[in-house]
């Protein structure tokens, strides 16, 4: 199959504004900006948004402070200081429950909470503190590569967050972080505003007081930017915004990130939420943030800043001008100021982005393209190699995560060859589609020798009929051969799929499951779910094409996906049942003791093999029928 890159929205030079390079700051004005990455995310590698923006702003002469509050929060959670605070909160929580009991009968959950709180003695908390500190030491040391010790450390993190949850109940503080729940609805601005003010459940108020507020007092930034890449981060971000406005009203607060872009048509309609911050940047942020900084510093009107929504005394404004970056002009990410030694890994994993947008850009379920106005673009291979060499030497990093939405096959082949030619000696991971053009043995031999260790692979479905509905433009033969080649050449494949794409039938789902079972010898791990109808994906834009009807609840103003019904195939409830059946009955060799993607990547890189039964809950069992057949 020959890839037509125009289908992915390949940008032409004429569509990129000509004034793209930030000019040196000759005015003598150096603005201090603090960039914040908020909770909740797994603290295993830096998120790329901050280092990318930092590099761009610093090149223009501005003073940038990077603050990974998410990382610092988890480092604090698993410390003596925070667990002492938890212990002090135990009597307060018990007193709250006693007052409730005078008003009504406690629920079963509240009674269980009381009993659990009574077990939080000073002795138990002291012992838990020691184990938490030991768990952090393990994940940051060579002992990380002892599977039993790493599993123990992860269990300790879960136990600690469970104890923390007791004093913030009914909130649940979780590890993995994405399961954290403040007991408010993320898809309603009114609920987020209520959560911001709820001193009982909102742990992020304490995080602000202990971590972010002292940093702001020390650094005195003029502008604070908060990067929201996951909807879960709205709780912490809005809490930080509200408290910044309360304590530092003179600071301009600007939001950005993927979630903000997806809510671009909603935010102007939620004035109460918008009161918590001053502006929001949608789509790409480098030039937009630089122009915003310059406008604020020079007292200019913000109406000319591209990609910007902003609030003033007249109301909320949406600027018409948009800007797309020229990848050739972007500097390599700048990680200076981030405490790389504090991430929960024994050696740093650095993210790097060589492309923007998706070269394919046709999958009917995908809305990743909503983050860009100009479609697919890429850096040339020479500058990519130079950037990687620079980052490796500057930060002593050997492990890289190429965070591209889907690595283009032509660039994949060039990358492997150029890494070999440059003798860069790195280990790397990225995300790819199943492509016929990547089925040559030489491609995978080069990938193996260049340090490719782990690939997230977009499987989606094992039914050719469903793949055609999705416009995936691949076949099960291509998928099967790719799995065989990656397995043969030591590259761990993580297969991502879902059930319930509109029009998928139960038989299609069974085909998808059976295909994986038939190829389990070559499938290393899986990540499955069910189809979500995102508000920006192609199915939502053309529901009639897929025999689908969806429903908008006017009160759910921040909803990023919708409930829907279909004329044919699996309903939402049917897809959930299929998924549950798959969860309960799939090949147990795919269940890993260690689930964090960076951890699996580091293990494969460390041991130099994708055959790691130590990562599995149970060792793979040979089919006894095969044994009998061979006798």
List, for residues 573-627, the tens digit of each pLDDT value.
999 999 999 999 999 999 999 989 999 999 999 999 999 988 887 544 444 333 3
Q: What does the mean pLDDT of the chain come to? A: 92
pLDDT of residue 64: 98
Note the pLDDT tens digit of each residue in 167-225. Answer: 999 999 998 888 899 999 999 999 999 999 999 999 999 999 999 999 999 999 999 99
Query: Helix (H, G, I), strand (E, B), or coil: what is residue 611?
Result: coil
Where residue 428 falls (left for φ over 0; alpha for ψ -120 to 50; beta otherwise) is beta
Query: Helix (H, G, I), strand (E, B), or coil: what is residue 281?
Result: strand
Q: Is the pLDDT of residue 134 over 70?
A: yes
Q: Is the pLDDT of residue 118 over 80?
A: yes
pLDDT of residue 629: 34
Quote the percentage of the chain above a pLDDT of 70.
93
Q: With contact defined as beta carbons under 8 Å apart, do 58 and 21 qualify?
A: no
- Helix/strand/coil percent split, the chain, to 5: 50, 15, 35
Query: Helix (H, G, I), strand (E, B), or coil: what is residue 476?
Result: helix
Max Cα separation, the chain? 84
pLDDT of residue 27: 53
pLDDT of residue 368: 76
Q: Give strand pairing partners of 566.
A: 548
Quickly state the pLDDT bin for 275 (edges 50, 70, 90): very high
pLDDT of residue 498: 97
Note the pLDDT tens digit of each residue in 143-165. Answer: 999 999 999 999 999 999 999 99
Note the pLDDT tens digit of each residue in 13-69. Answer: 444 454 444 454 445 589 999 999 999 999 999 999 999 999 999 999 999 999 999
Question: What is the DSSP code (8-state) at residue 592?
Answer: B
- Smallest Cα–Cα separation from 316: which of 283, 288, 263, 274? 274
Q: What is the mean pLDDT of residues 556-583?
A: 95
- Smallest Cα–Cα separation from 69: which of 189, 197, 237? 237
Q: Are strands 427-432 and 452-460 parallel, antiparallel or unpaired?
A: parallel
The encoded tokens of residue 243 equal 């408290």
Quote the percentage of the chain above a pLDDT of 90.
86
| Torsions phi, psi for 529 (to 5 deg) | -160, -155
- Smallest Cα–Cα separation from 262: which of 187, 162, 340? 187
pLDDT of residue 617: 74
DSSP states of 159-223 as a string? HHHHHHHHHHTTSB--SSGGG-B-SS-TT-HHHHHHHHH-TTT-HHHHHIIIIIHHHHHHH--SE
Q: Where do we find the tokens 């301009």? A: 252
Q: With contact defined as beta carbons under 8 Å apart, do 201 and 195 qualify?
A: yes
- Smallest Cα–Cα separation from 283: which of 366, 355, 371, 358? 371
The encoded tokens of residue 49 equal 């948004």
Note the pLDDT tens digit of each residue in 382-404. Answer: 999 999 999 999 999 999 999 99
- CA torsion sign for 110, 115, 118, 123 is negative
Q: Where in the chain is the domain with CATH 3.80.30.20?
A: 347-609
Give the number of other CB atoms < 10 A from CB of residue 525: 21
pLDDT of residue 5: 34
pLDDT of residue 28: 57
Beta strand segments in 13-105, E: 32-37, 63-68
Q: What is the mean pLDDT of residues 76-93?
A: 96
Superfamily of 347-609 according to CATH: tm_1862 like domain (3.80.30.20)
pLDDT of residue 19: 45
The encoded tokens of residue 436 equal 């016929």
pLDDT of residue 616: 82
Q: Is the pLDDT of residue 482 over 90?
A: yes
Note the pLDDT tens digit of each residue in 484-520. Answer: 999 999 999 999 999 999 999 999 999 999 999 999 9
pLDDT of residue 18: 42
pLDDT of residue 238: 98
Note the pLDDT tens digit of each residue in 212-264. Answer: 999 999 999 999 999 999 999 999 999 999 999 999 999 999 999 999 999 99
Of the ranges 349-353, 365-369, 419-423, 600-604, which one carries the lowest mean pLDDT score?
Answer: 365-369
Q: Is the pLDDT of residue 4 over 90?
A: no
Q: With contact defined as beta carbons under 8 Å apart, do 185 and 191 qualify?
A: yes
């Amino acid at each position: 199959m020959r890839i037509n890159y125009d289908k992915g929205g390949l940008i032409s030079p004429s569509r990129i504004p000509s004034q793209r390079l930030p000019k040196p700051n000759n005015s003598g004005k150096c603005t201090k900006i603090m960039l914040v990455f908020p909770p909740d995310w797994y603290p295993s590698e830096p998120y790329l948004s901050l280092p990318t923006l930092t590099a761009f702003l610093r090149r223009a002469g501005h003073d940038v402070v990077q603050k990974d509050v998410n990382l610092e929060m988890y480092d604090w959670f698993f410390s003596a200081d925070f667990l002492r605070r938890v212990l002090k909160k135990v009597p307060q929580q018990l007193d709250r429950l006693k007052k409730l009991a005078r008003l009504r009968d406690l629920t079963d959950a509240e009674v269980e909470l009381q009993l659990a709180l009574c077990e939080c003695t000073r002795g138990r908390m002291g012992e838990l503190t020691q184990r938490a500190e030991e768990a952090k030491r393990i994940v940051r040391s060579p002992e990380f590569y002892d599977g039993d010790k790493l599993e123990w450390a992860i269990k300790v993190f879960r136990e600690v967050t469970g104890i923390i949850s007791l004093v913030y109940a009914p909130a649940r503080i979780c590890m993995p972080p994405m399961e954290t729940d403040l007991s408010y609805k993320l898809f309603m601005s009114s609920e987020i505003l209520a959560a911001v003010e709820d001193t009982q459940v909102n742990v992020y108020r304490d995080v602000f007081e202990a971590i972010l507020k002292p940093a702001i007092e020390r650094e005195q930034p003029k502008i604070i930017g908060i990067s929201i890449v996951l909807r879960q981060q709205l709780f912490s971000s809005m809490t930080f915004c509200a408290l910044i406005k309360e304590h530092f009203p003179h600071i301009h607060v600007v939001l950005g990130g993927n979630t903000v872009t997806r809510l671009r048509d909603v935010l102007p309609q939620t004035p109460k939420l918008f009161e918590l911050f001053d502006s929001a940047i949608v789509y790409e942020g480098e030039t937009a943030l630089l122009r915003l900084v310059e406008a604020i510093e020079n007292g200019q009107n913000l109406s000319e800043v591209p990609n910007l929504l902003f609030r003033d005394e007249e109301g909320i404004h949406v600027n018409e001008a948009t800007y797309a970056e020229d990848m050739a002009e972007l500097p390599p990410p700048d990680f200076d100021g981030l405490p790389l030694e504090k991430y929960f890994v024994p050696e740093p994993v650095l993210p790097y982005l060589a492309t923007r947008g998706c070269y394919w850009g046709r999958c009917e379920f995908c809305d990743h393209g909503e983050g860009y106005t100009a479609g697919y673009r890429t850096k040339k291979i020479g500058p990519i190699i130079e950037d990687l060499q620079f980052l490796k030497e500057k930060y002593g990093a050997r492990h890289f995560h190429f965070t591209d939405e889907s690595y283009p096959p032509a660039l994949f082949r060039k990358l492997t060859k150029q890494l070999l030619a440059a003798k860069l000696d790195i280990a790397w991971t990225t995300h790819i589609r199943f492509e016929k053009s990547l089925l040559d043995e030489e491609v995978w031999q080069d990938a193996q020798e260049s340090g490719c260790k782990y690939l997230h692979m977009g499987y989606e479905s094992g039914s050719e009929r469903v793949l055609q509905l999705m416009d995936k433009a691949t076949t099960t033969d291509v998928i099967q051969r790719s799995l065989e080649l990656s397995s043969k050449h030591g590259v761990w494949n993580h297969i991502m799929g879902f059930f319930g794409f509109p029009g998928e039938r139960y038989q299609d789902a069974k085909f998808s499951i059976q295909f994986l079972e038939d190829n389990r010898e070559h499938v290393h791990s899986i990540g499955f779910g069910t189809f979500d109808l995102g508000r920006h994906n192609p199915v939502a834009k053309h529901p009639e094409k897929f025999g689908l009807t969806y429903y908008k609840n006017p009160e759910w103003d921040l909803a990023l996906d919708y409930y829907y019904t279909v004329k044919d195939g699996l309903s939402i409830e049917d897809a959930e049942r299929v998924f549950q059946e798959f969860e309960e009955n799939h090949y147990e060799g795919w269940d890993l003791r260690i689930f964090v993607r960076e951890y699996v990547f580091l293990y494969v890189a460390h041991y130099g093999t994708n055959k790691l039964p130590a990562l599995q809950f149970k060792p793979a069992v040979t089919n006894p029928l095969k044994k009998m057949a061979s006798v």
